[in-house]
Amino acid sequence: MRMSDLVAQYITQMLDEQNGSAEIQRNELAGNLGCVPSQINYVITSRFTPEQGYIVESRRGGGGYIRISRVKMDRGTAMMHIINSVGSTLDKATAEVMLNNMLQRNMIELQSAKLIAAALSDRTLSQVEQDKRDTVRADLFKNMLLTIE
């Protein structure tokens, strides 16, 4: 398991145990997990974003902390929030993270996630010009999410 996956899993576990909101001290968490503090920053900025249903607040200085809260919303509202957050382009890695988050929040079934991931893969889009793939991927992703009940 990659370090970023381990950090994300640890934070997600904290959120689950603390009713959807957790305060972490970056240096302390990095020490516990055996990584550098910048790795914690990377995970938070890439996997705990508003588009993925999180609010992140930070306070700097001596006893500073990062507070991560899971936004509570019904499935339909969350789905529309995700669709609206995609924009005009979507890279493969971001699509995978979004699908994984949707799976973890029980917003999508595993079979649907696998089908969407296959449709958005670079292999599937190999006939699309490289500079247009992320635009096509975004359109496909949004339209596929609109069909999921």
Average pLDDT of the chain is 88
Q: Phi and psi at residue 2, in whole multiples of 5°?
A: -70, 155
Mean pLDDT of 7-15: 91
Highest mean pLDDT among 33-37, 43-47, 68-72, 110-114: 110-114
Q: Is the pTM of this model over 0.85?
A: no
Phi-psi map region of 87: left, alpha, beta (phi>0 left; psi -120 to 50 alpha): left
Phi, psi (5° rounding) for residue 53? 95, 25
CB-based burial, 12-39: b 16+ in 10 Å, e otherwise: beebeeeeeebebebeebbeeeebeeeb
- Which of 15, 11, 12, 47 lies closest to 30, judged by CA? 11
Each residue's pLDDT tens digit, 37-67: 889 888 988 888 876 778 898 877 666 789 9
Residues 114 and 139: beta-carbon distance below 8 Å = no
Residue 62, pLDDT score: 63
